[in-house]
Amino acid sequence: MQSKDSSKSNFNIPKIKFTQLFINGEFVDSVSGKMFETIDPRNEEVIASVAEGDKDDVDLAVKAAREAFDNGPWPRLSPKERRRIMLKFADLILEHVEEIAALDAMDAGKLFSVVKTGDIPNVADVLCYYAGAADKIHGTTLKMSRELQGYTLLEPIGVVGLIIPWNFPSPLLMHKVAPALAAGCTVVVKPAEQTPLSALYYAYLAKQAGIPDGVVNVVTGFGPTAGAALSSHMDVDKIGFTGSTEVGRLIMHAAATSNLKPVSLELGGKSPFIVFDDVDVDKVAPLAFVGAVYNKGEICVAGSRLFIQEGIYDKFVKKLVEMAKTWVVGDPFDPNTRQGPQIDKIQFEKVLSYIEHGKKEGATLLTGGNSLDRKGYFIEPTIFVDVTDEMTIAKEEIFGPVLSVMKFKTVEEVIKRANCTKYGLAAGVMTNDLNIANTVSRSIRAGVIWINCYFAFDPDCPFGGYKCSGFERDLGMEGLHKYLQVKSVVTPI
Ligand code: NAD
């Protein structure tokens, strides 16, 4: 691992333009007037003070969204018209790609170059995909009996509350906002308190694109206050949530004990990355390493449980350690950096405490394991071997650059061990044997299986989890249908 000093970065940080709540087409202060600080994880300095929304602000935002849904133009526009405006929104995002990428890179410690060339273009792609879907929302016709016929109408579900995490502030926001808009819904977005800035920028661009007032509202603030107010609100028709399994439970409870609104949950993971003896080690080991430490391991589909078949185990592990030793940790604005800082102090300390657990429970630390001796929340890429399925580092989602490596012998064994987790978000299967690839893919209980690739996303490819990783799907047509209601209309023939 090599470290880079952040003072070497010469990137011109943009001025922060938007720090107020966005309600009914206007930037406004919170009712309480309170603000909170968003912190740069590179240097622990304040980036900006942002309005702290709470229950009163959520009430105002939901009221605006309700009015826009019940009486405003958005749900009543022709789908073609909605498509045109959404495409304009996508164009505006691409015009401002550098500025938005800088906001996410600063707020979340993400690599600027990756956000600029990956996350933000993905946001525009997803908007275009759902813009194109807006006029392809079809019901069915029903021939019911000699006397009766019917048809189904797919109607927008209404006012949608969207609660977003900090690790991919832009894509995870647009994976929900874009289909909700295409469906004709109105939304209240609650971004993570660590990464509020890009959400406010999107609200501004939505207005510039011609999305009517009240359709997109953003309430920045904290989970237990603003987030809880949104999920328990009596006038919100659906909650779309991405975040931790613990908070997912709270959201279901809030929905169940308020107006019984449906929720969709995209939650945590502890994904197995399985490598069989027949692969080219030089090609697959880098994929496995990046599969675990991409975005500093702050990714729900991190392949953090690496199962390697015994025949190539030693060679594979050697290659992983070589990768870790040359991996550059440092300023996310420096183009040479491969890994930025963890999101905040809480997460930083949590990851380091998992590393201590690994050592205490008897895993062997091969490389890494330390924070960097400088300001900011930097942690070395860390590799443990001799990990057993029962160890904490093999069971719990660490959300940091920590890889647990395990050896296996047979296909049956690895399927059993890969499924030995409460999570079921993703899995990687690396082999040139089609039969093995198919058998493992069908046997793993997870929502996404990547064969001989990893982190392969597309707007058309549904994404979501089994078991404690959640339910319903973002992306694809499944990601649109969750914002629609089915109404059956029956008439005599
Ligand atoms: P988190 O659950 O702590 O927070 C997510 C969001 O929920 C934030 O906006 C937060 O303010 C809000 N929140 C917190 N408490 C709340 C409450 N009581 N009521 C309503 N809202 C509340 O998660 P995080 O730490 O921001 O993100 C990390 C987690 O997200 C990890 O577990 C990760 O696996 C998961 N994640 C899942 C996916 C996926 O698609 N499955 C994607 C990214 C992240």
pLDDT per residue over 172-210, tens digit each? 999 999 999 999 999 999 999 999 999 999 999 999 999
Computed over its alpha carbons, how large is the radius of gyration of the chain?
23
Q: Is 52 in the pocket of ligand 1 (CB under 6 A)?
A: no
For residue 465, which atom of ligand 1 is closest to its CA?
Answer: 41
Complete DSSP assignment for 352-371: HHHHHHHHHTT-EEEE---B
| The pLDDT of residue 364 | 98
- Asked if 143 and 136 touch (Cβ cutoff 8 Å), the reply is no
The rounded Å distance from CA 107 to ligand 1 centre is: 16
What whole-number percentage of the chain has pLDDT above 70?
98
- Asked if 384 and 305 touch (Cβ cutoff 8 Å), the reply is no
Q: Is 171 in the pocket of ligand 1 (CB under 6 A)?
A: no
Residues in Cβ contact with 430 at an 8 Å cutoff, skipping those fewer than 6 apart: 273, 274, 275, 276, 279, 284, 287, 288, 451, 452
For residue 268, which atom of ligand 1 is closest to its CA?
Answer: 34
Q: Which of 52, 193, 266, 380 is catalytic?
A: 266
For residue 222, which atom of ligand 1 is closest to its CA?
Answer: 11
The rounded Å distance from CA 431 to ligand 1 centre is: 33
Instruction: Report how far residue 82's alpha carbon sits from residue 79's, in angstroms, rounded to the nearest whole number.
Output: 5
Q: Which two tokens stand for residue 332?
A: 């996310």
Instruction: Report how far residue 408's alpha carbon sits from residue 399's, in angstroms, rounded to the nearest whole number.
Output: 24
Q: Which two tokens stand for residue 140?
A: 């069915």
| The pLDDT of residue 77 | 98
The rounded Å distance from CA 267 to ligand 1 centre is: 7
What whole-number percentage of the chain has pLDDT above 90?
97
Helix (H, G, I), strand (E, B) or coil at 484: strand
Q: Is 223 in the pocket of ligand 1 (CB under 6 A)?
A: yes
Q: Is 425 in the pocket of ligand 1 (CB under 6 A)?
A: yes
Which H or E run contains 46?
Answer: strand 45-51
Q: If you average pLDDT over residues 46-58, what whole number do you get?
A: 97
**Catalytic (active site) residue 266:** yes
Q: Which two tokens stand for residue 450?
A: 């990547």
The pLDDT tens digits of the residues spanning 82-137 come to 999 999 999 999 999 999 999 999 999 999 999 999 999 999 999 999 999 999 99
Q: Which two tokens stand for residue 58?
A: 């959520």
| The pLDDT of residue 175 | 98
Q: Is 179 in the pocket of ligand 1 (CB under 6 A)?
A: no
Q: Is 240 in the pocket of ligand 1 (CB under 6 A)?
A: no
The rounded Å distance from CA 268 to ligand 1 centre is: 9
Q: Is 232 in the pocket of ligand 1 (CB under 6 A)?
A: no
pLDDT band with cut points at 50, 70 and 90 for residue 13:
confident
| The pLDDT of residue 433 | 98
pLDDT band with cut points at 50, 70 and 90 for residue 234:
very high
| The pLDDT of residue 11 | 63
User: Ligand 1: which residue has its CA nearest to atom 21?
Assistant: 227
Q: Taking the complete model, does pTM exceed 0.95, yes or no?
A: yes
Tell me which of 250, 271, 300 to substitute to probe ligand 1's pocket, judged by most ligand atoms within 8 Å of the beta carbon.
Answer: 300
| The pLDDT of residue 233 | 98
Is 0.85 exceeded by the ipTM?
Answer: yes
For residue 399, which atom of ligand 1 is closest to its CA?
Answer: 31
| The pLDDT of residue 12 | 67
User: Ligand 1: which residue has its CA nearest to atom 31?
Assistant: 244
The rounded Å distance from CA 71 to ligand 1 centre is: 32
Q: Is 309 in the pocket of ligand 1 (CB under 6 A)?
A: no
Angle between helices 79-95 and 197-209 (to 10 degrees): 130
Complete DSSP assignment for 414-436: HHHHHT-SSEESEEEEE-S-HHH
pLDDT band with cut points at 50, 70 and 90 for residue 10:
low
User: Ligand 1: which residue has its CA nearest to atom 30?
Assistant: 243
Express the helix, strand and coil content of the chain in percent, nearest 5 each.
40, 25, 35
The rounded Å distance from CA 358 to ligand 1 centre is: 24
What's the half-sphere exposure (Cβ side, CA atoms, 13 Å) at 58?
26
For residue 166, which atom of ligand 1 is closest to its CA?
Answer: 26
Helix (H, G, I), strand (E, B) or coil at 140: coil
Q: What is the DSSP letter of 344?
A: S
Write the single-letter amino acid at 422.
Answer: K
Complete DSSP assignment for 145-193: SSSEEEEEEEEE--EEEEE--SSSHHHHHHHHHHHHHHHT-EEEEE--T
Which one is predicted more confidently, 14 or 77? 77
Q: Is 195 in the pocket of ligand 1 (CB under 6 A)?
A: no
Q: If you average pLDDT over residues 290-308, what whole number do you get?
A: 98
Among the listed residues 43, 453, 72, the one whose alpha carbon sits nearest the alpha carbon of residue 273: 453
Q: Is 479 in the pocket of ligand 1 (CB under 6 A)?
A: no
- Asked if 164 and 173 touch (Cβ cutoff 8 Å), the reply is yes
| The pLDDT of residue 6 | 46
Q: Is 109 in the pocket of ligand 1 (CB under 6 A)?
A: no
Mean pLDDT, the chain, whole residue set: 97
Q: What's the burial of 481, exposed, middle or buried (CB within 10 Å: 0-12/13-18/19+)? A: middle
The pLDDT tens digits of the residues spanning 314-361 come to 999 999 999 999 999 999 999 999 999 999 999 999 999 999 999 999
User: Is pLDDT of 250 > 70?
Assistant: yes
